[in-house]
Amino acid sequence: MASKKSSTDFIFFFLVIVLLSIGVIMVFSSSAYTAARDLGDPYYYVRRQLIWATLGLIGMFIASKVDLQWLKSMSNIILLGSLILLVLVLIIGSTRGGASRWIGIGSLSFQPSEVIKLAMVIYMAKSLSVNSYKLKSFTKGLFPYLALIGLVCLLILAQPDLGTAVAVAGTSYLLLAVAGARGSHLFVLALSGVGAVIAAILLEPYRLRRFTAFLDPYADPIGAGFQTIQSLLALGSGGLFGVGLARGVQKCYYIPERHTDFIYAVLGEELGFIGAAFVLLVFLFFVWRGFKIAVSTHDSFMSLLAAGITIMITLQAVINIGVVTGSMPVTGITLPFISYGGSSLVFTLVGVGLVLNVSRYSS
């Protein structure tokens, strides 16, 4: 067990605060027009975002102080509890927009899929730190993990929520790679993962439409290609310097999910290439700093935990920006720290808190 040597990583914390601040501003800018028209209150979303961010920061503080050895010992229970929630949401979850993703009542509801992401990272970090030598074997080492990942992904897909499933699978896969799985295994896995995604796409006609729309959004400009086109139009309108904060117009009912999944498009329109590239750089620093924390500790659980959470957050950012820039088919996933989102923001910040916790054990 590593001894407490250094203080909390301030740079990592600072980068998160920067992204969080950009997020609050952009949530307000992107949602004010539609919130005023639909709900009669332009501050509706930004007020809630501030409340969630505050809750998240409290969660982050607690997570940064929690005893990581205790967390390690609790990882099985956490995973089990999360899996139960994931099953429960399919039975009693509330349905919004055709998907049952929420549990709870009204504004107190949250997405169990957000919990499972974190729980999976914690569990895998513990399990891999204990069993890393077994990983070279496919049947004894790798296969149980694949079974677990498969089960979790299937449960998430049942909601259905392809974006989160891809994020969980991707995070787990990268965590296995970091933990030292064989390259040949990983290659085969990557191939079968692609196969699984293709299968998932072919099974649901709307996913196929979205997928082909990504390849040629103008084939169906008012149908499946609509989101991608409007997103690209927003980004393109931004140019180098952007049209100015709050001055974008594509957010006025043109871009769907303007303050959640497509917030980066609004940011690109209003703050231009400068602003959009800045956010990318901050995320890049975030990854660098997260991995630095991971490699600075000698405790393999802590190291894998910090790496896993960093991967988890960054992968979501990659998928989100990939979708917004039309580089990937549309999958509903938020941009960490920046998009409006209740439970996802809270759990992301809790994750950050754990990484900060780990940073105190760097050598």
Smallest distance from another protein to CB 50, Å: 25
- Contact residue for another protein among 314, 343, 357, 362 (CB under 8 A): 314
Question: Does 253 sit near another protein (CB under 8 A)?
Answer: yes
Local structure of 314: helix, strand or coil: helix
Strand 99-102 relative to strand 94-96: parallel, antiparallel, unpaired? antiparallel
The two most distant CA atoms of the chain are separated, in Å, by 59
98: left (phi over 0), alpha (psi -120 to 50) or beta: left
Local structure of 330: helix, strand or coil: coil
Phi, psi of 332 (to 5 degrees): -75, 105
Window contacting another protein (CB under 8 A); options: 42-50, 155-163, 320-328, 355-363: 320-328
Q: Which is nearer to another protein, 90 or 243 (CB)?
A: 243
- Spatial separation of the C-alpha atoms in residues 318 and 314, rounded to whole Å: 6
Site for another protein in 102-121 (CB under 8 A): none
- Contact residue for another protein among 53, 232, 352, 354 (CB under 8 A): 232
Retrieve residue 155's tokens: 């449960």
Smallest distance from another protein to CB 283, Å: 7
CA torsion sign, 288 to 290 to 292 to 294?
negative
- Contact residue for another protein among 144, 195, 223, 236 (CB under 8 A): 236
Window contacting another protein (CB under 8 A); options: 133-141, 185-193, 207-215, 244-252: 244-252
How many residues bind another protein (CB under 8 A)? The answer is 37
- Contact residue for another protein among 10, 21, 37, 73 (CB under 8 A): 37
Does residue 160 have a cis peptide bond before it, meaning omega lies within 30 degrees of 0? yes
Question: Does 240 sit near another protein (CB under 8 A)?
Answer: yes
Q: Helices in the chain by DSSP H: which ranges?
A: 10-39, 44-65, 68-92, 112-131, 143-157, 162-179, 183-203, 205-215, 226-238, 263-296, 300-324, 342-359
Question: Does 326 sit near another protein (CB under 8 A)?
Answer: yes
- Spatial separation of the C-alpha atoms in residues 190 and 184, rounded to whole Å: 10
- Contact residue for another protein among 238, 308, 342, 351 (CB under 8 A): 238
Smallest distance from another protein to CB 139, Å: 27
- Contact residue for another protein among 188, 284, 295, 298 (CB under 8 A): 284
What x/- string results for residues 259 through 278 when contact with another protein is judged by CB under 8 A? ---------x---xx--xx-
Question: Does 223 sit near another protein (CB under 8 A)?
Answer: no
- Contact residue for another protein among 321, 335, 350, 355 (CB under 8 A): 321
- Spatial separation of the C-alpha atoms in residues 30 and 251, rounded to whole Å: 6
Question: Does 84 sit near another protein (CB under 8 A)?
Answer: no
Q: Terminal CA-to-CA distance of the chain, rounded, Å? A: 12
Q: Which is nearer to another protein, 27 or 235 (CB)?
A: 235
Question: Does 330 sit near another protein (CB under 8 A)?
Answer: no
93: which residues sit within 8 A by CB, 6+ positions away? 100, 101, 102, 103, 112, 159
Question: Does 325 sit near another protein (CB under 8 A)?
Answer: yes
Question: Does 217 sit near another protein (CB under 8 A)?
Answer: no
- Contact residue for another protein among 235, 293, 304, 350 (CB under 8 A): 235
- Spatial separation of the C-alpha atoms in residues 359 and 361, rounded to whole Å: 5
Q: Which is nearer to another protein, 112 or 268 (CB)?
A: 268
How large is the C-alpha radius of gyration of the chain?
20
- Spatial separation of the C-alpha atoms in residues 212 and 287, rounded to whole Å: 31
Q: Which residues bind another protein (CB under 8 A)?
A: 33, 37, 174, 222, 230, 232-240, 249-250, 252-254, 268, 272-273, 276-277, 280-281, 283-284, 287-288, 314, 318, 321-322, 325-327
